[in-house]
Protein backbone atom coordinates (compact mmCIF):
# COMPACT_ATOMS: atom_id res chain seq x y z
CA UNK A 1 0.00 0.00 0.00
CA UNK A 2 1.13 3.53 -0.80
CA UNK A 3 1.78 5.84 2.14
CA UNK A 4 -0.11 9.05 1.57
CA UNK A 5 1.08 12.50 2.49
CA UNK A 6 -1.36 14.12 4.84
CA UNK A 7 0.40 17.05 6.52
CA UNK A 8 0.77 20.56 5.10
CA UNK A 9 2.48 23.49 6.79
CA UNK A 10 2.35 27.24 6.28
CA UNK A 11 3.77 30.44 7.71
CA UNK A 12 1.04 32.95 8.62
CA UNK A 13 1.82 36.54 7.70
CA UNK A 14 -1.15 38.68 8.65
CA UNK A 15 -4.10 36.85 7.14
CA UNK A 16 -2.01 35.20 4.41
CA UNK A 17 -0.64 31.68 4.34
CA UNK A 18 2.86 31.49 2.87
CA UNK A 19 5.51 28.83 2.42
CA UNK A 20 7.32 27.63 5.52
CA UNK A 21 10.50 29.60 6.34
CA UNK A 22 13.83 28.94 4.68
CA UNK A 23 15.73 26.27 6.57
CA UNK A 24 12.60 24.43 7.72
CA UNK A 25 11.27 21.04 6.71
CA UNK A 26 7.97 19.27 7.22
CA UNK A 27 7.67 15.55 6.62
CA UNK A 28 4.28 15.29 4.89
CA UNK A 29 3.75 11.70 6.07
CA UNK A 30 4.79 11.86 9.75
CA UNK A 31 4.04 15.56 10.35
CA UNK A 32 7.46 16.11 11.94
CA UNK A 33 8.52 19.76 11.58
CA UNK A 34 12.08 20.99 12.08
CA UNK A 35 13.64 24.38 11.65
CA UNK A 36 17.13 25.72 12.13
CA UNK A 37 16.62 29.49 11.81
CA UNK A 38 19.44 31.41 10.20
CA UNK A 39 20.83 34.81 11.19
CA UNK A 40 18.23 37.57 11.20
CA UNK A 41 15.28 35.38 12.17
CA UNK A 42 14.13 37.19 15.31
CA UNK A 43 10.59 37.70 16.53
CA UNK A 44 7.37 35.71 16.47
CA UNK A 45 6.52 33.28 13.69
CA UNK A 46 3.02 31.81 13.43
CA UNK A 47 2.87 28.42 11.77
CA UNK A 48 -0.23 26.54 10.68
CA UNK A 49 -0.14 22.78 10.24
CA UNK A 50 -3.07 21.04 8.56
CA UNK A 51 -3.93 17.35 8.56
CA UNK A 52 -5.40 17.03 5.08
CA UNK A 53 -7.11 13.75 5.95
CA UNK A 54 -9.12 15.01 8.95
CA UNK A 55 -8.96 18.76 8.07
CA UNK A 56 -7.67 19.41 11.60
CA UNK A 57 -5.55 22.57 12.07
CA UNK A 58 -2.90 23.32 14.66
CA UNK A 59 -1.60 26.88 15.03
CA UNK A 60 1.77 27.31 16.70
CA UNK A 61 3.63 30.52 17.54
CA UNK A 62 7.41 30.23 17.68
CA UNK A 63 9.29 33.06 19.42
CA UNK A 64 12.93 33.51 18.48
CA UNK A 65 15.04 35.84 20.58
CA UNK A 66 18.62 36.48 21.54
CA UNK A 67 20.01 35.50 24.91
CA UNK A 68 23.16 36.88 26.43
CA UNK A 69 25.72 34.42 27.62
CA UNK A 70 27.88 35.76 30.43
CA UNK A 71 31.07 33.85 30.99
CA UNK A 72 33.15 34.37 34.10
CA UNK A 73 36.74 33.18 34.28
pLDDT (0 to 100) of residue 65: 79
pLDDT (0 to 100) of residue 12: 92
Give CA–CA dist 25/47, Å, rounded.
Answer: 12
Block mean pLDDT (10 aa), the chain, length 73: 84 93 92 88 89 87 74 74
Give CA–CA dist 73/55, Å, rounded.
Answer: 55
13 bridge partner residues: 16
pLDDT (0 to 100) of residue 4: 83
Give CA–CA dist 1/3, Å, rounded.
Answer: 6
pLDDT (0 to 100) of residue 68: 61
pLDDT (0 to 100) of residue 3: 77
| Entry pTM | 0.76
Amino acid sequence: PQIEARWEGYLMVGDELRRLPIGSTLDPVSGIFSWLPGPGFLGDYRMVFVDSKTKTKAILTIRIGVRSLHLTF
